[in-house]
Structure 1
Amino acid sequence: MTRTAEDDIRARFAAAPWKGITAEQMAPALRVPTMLSDVEQSLYFWAARDWARGCGAIVDLGCFVGGSTARLAEGRRQAGHGARVHGFDRFTASAGLKKRLFDPAGIPPFDGRDILPLARRLLDPWSPLISLHPGEIEDNGWPGGPIELLALDASKTTGAMDRMAAHFFPNLVPAGSLVIQQDYFHWRQPWIAVQMERLAEHFVPLAACAPSTMVFLCRTPPDAGALVRAACDRLSDAELIAGLEAARARLAPFGQDHRFEKLIAAARANPGQRVAWKLKPPAR
């Protein structure tokens, strides 16, 4: 059987080269607070430095105060290609979240929920490479142009997820774009796995990255019709669970069955619920 380019890509990701990234290589990006795990941080940096070639933008949906954006931008800076890094977020934070994330990073307390000024200050070392887009991501949309690397951490409702897919997925590069679904295995967002499964002909699963990330290669960008058919906002609970079962079967080689069990349990424990923060944890 003839080996294909896609086979080579699968083999490259099976080797998980980002696990060899050191903290020293990612500095000074590590100074920007993030909720990413260590291995996820390495993945983001590696994807921007070693995967991206500058044939499209690097887009970070749900970048919070810029931690993931900094890892992407530092990878882009070291690679030296021409991709621009776009960070999208509401850029707001509750008092509790500020205390939990900012205090350990040595960021002085400040009033209010607005964290955009802080994000701009933290990302200043990469400011020539970065564009920030404050507001609701699904309303802002994408200004246009190809996207080579798309990281998603904002699919907190099925409606927002569907609208973001409609804005961003058609701009992916065929057989060249990576999609990093950061919350793919997060039990509060079981619909992400279902969306990607309903778009299975367009996306090839490449790697699972603890604790909840799944990486895909865009085989062909979905068009408007495919995205309408893949929409999850009006799925019944039975359809949602069936989608999770199908995703579990397709991703069996990645050894994530225990995570799919929790996703399915969460969907069953929260009938009709499609807002992440309203989901209650499934019984153990």
Structure 2
Amino acid sequence: MTTADQFEVLHHAVIASQFVKDLGIIETAPALRKADRIAPGMLSFLERAMLTNLVARTWRGDGAIVDGGSFLGSSIAASGEGVRASTVFDGRTDRFPEGKPIHGYELGYLPLPKNKKEQVGVWNGVEYKYGESFVPILEEAVAPYRDLVELHIGDLNDERWYDAPIEIAFIDVCKTSRLNAHVSREFYPALIPGASTLINQDFFFDRLPWIKVTMGYLKDYFTWEGQVASSSIYRNVKAVPADVAAFDPFLEAGYEDCLALHDAVEFPGLDRKFEFRMCLSRAYLMASKGAKDDALDTLKTVESTYADILGDVEADRGFQYRLDRATRQITSGNISGAF
């Protein structure tokens, strides 16, 4: 049972149990901004510090490190730095699949939006044109850690995990319900009870409701340890049986059950801005299960309840923007494109 007194709010986007507090995220994140080499990517510096320190301070080499959704390399580089800084890892890599402790999974490109002829993104000074392969950028980011990293390029749905334990799983790839179910089925049974850490990077986000439903379904197998930006951190406390992991609650559970699972875990200290996102996620869940009217009613309640933050124009892709987007997509029924 999660209780409020187990957690401390260290930052508006960081809630920490003692386990997370001991990672020293707040203290070390600023230095990453000043590093000579910064791997490109969308990952916040708080999350990069969390990953590096998690690996450096807790990873013992009893299982592999999975980086699901490596994108341009920021998360996999953070894990690589953690391995380099580890004081407990003995340097032996022969016990890991392919002789590499870190396994990164990446499709290798972002599709060009249907309504655009061209779109260019820039992350940490690195430019990428949508629709093209970004594997060369990823390879360059991974180059300093090539002795530690095995890259799996292609559709993760076609991949199968080895018969090997996983000690740390950083999951930033569940952009579809199918990928979410595949991640659960392939990776979660390989976690080590009492030793493994799972991070769902897209958790405190206004979309992708299946992630919340799945973690609610698996709540007896994990303890929630805290939040870092949009990442939700868990420790595995009980082995996840293969048949349990193979069940997809988002697709197979009924409407009311899915709503209950979405809300099954409490997050003491969660900032209102992230509460707002979770409410939008709930509305998307309602719509995806065919309850459009319930979803729109929920959005009206959200608009009233969170009126105080809707005018925050400094927020990333502001809160009013997110509410308007949800209203537009749910009203039109075009929620397949919302995820």
TM-score, normalized by the shorter chain, greater than 0.5: yes
Give the gaps of 5 or more residues in structure 1: 1-5, 274-279
Measure the CA separation in 2 of the matches of 1:272 and 1:27.
48
Q: Give the TM-score of the pair, scaled to structure 2.
A: 0.70
Note closer, same or farther for the CA distance 1:75–1:16 as it changes in structure 2 (3 Å cut): closer
Measure the CA separation in 1 of the matches of 2:277 and 2:148.
36
Note closer, same or farther for the CA distance 1:121–1:229 as it changes in structure 2 (3 Å cut): closer
Measure the CA separation in 2 of the matches of 1:138 and 1:47.
27
Partner of 2:279: 261
Note closer, same or farther for the CA distance 1:29–1:62 as it changes in structure 2 (3 Å cut): farther
Alignment of 1:1-284 (within 5 A): 10-14=17-21, 17-24=24-31, 30-79=37-86, 81=89, 82=91, 84-94=101-111, 99-102=120-123, 105-107=125-127, 113-210=132-229, 212-229=230-247, 231-247=249-265, 250-252=266-268, 254=270, 257-272=275-290, 281-283=325-327
Whether the 8 Å CA contact 2:47–2:231 is kept in 1: the answer is yes
CA shift, 1:151, in A, is 0.5
Give the gaps of 5 or more residues in structure 2: 1-5, 8-15, 94-100, 292-323, 329-339
Whether the 8 Å CA contact 2:41–2:73 is kept in 1: the answer is yes
CA shift, 1:187, in A, is 1.7
Deviations 1:251-278 (Å, cap 9, x if unpaired)?
34556644432221332344449xxxxx
Could you tell me which amino acid in structure 1 is paired with residue 237 of structure 2?
Answer: R
Note closer, same or farther for the CA distance 1:52–1:118 as it changes in structure 2 (3 Å cut): same
Q: Secondary structure at the match of 2:205?
A: coil
Q: Secondary structure at the match of 2:158?
A: helix
Note closer, same or farther for the CA distance 1:105–1:189 as it changes in structure 2 (3 Å cut): same
Note closer, same or farther for the CA distance 1:240–1:283 as it changes in structure 2 (3 Å cut): same
Measure the CA separation in 1 of the matches of 2:152 and 2:189.
19
Q: Give the TM-score of the pair, scaled to structure 1.
A: 0.82
Note closer, same or farther for the CA distance 1:48–1:29 as it changes in structure 2 (3 Å cut): farther
Identity %: 24
Note closer, same or farther for the CA distance 1:26–1:166 as it changes in structure 2 (3 Å cut): farther
CA shift, 1:225, in A, is 2.1
Whether the 8 Å CA contact 2:63–2:165 is kept in 1: the answer is yes
Whether the 8 Å CA contact 1:147–1:173 is kept in 2: the answer is yes
Note closer, same or farther for the CA distance 1:110–1:195 as it changes in structure 2 (3 Å cut): closer
CA shift, 1:229, in A, is 4.2
Note closer, same or farther for the CA distance 1:228–1:110 as it changes in structure 2 (3 Å cut): closer
CA shift, 1:124, in A, is 0.7
Name the count of aligned residue pairs.
Answer: 268
Could you tell me which amino acid in structure 1 is paired with residue 209 of structure 2?
Answer: P
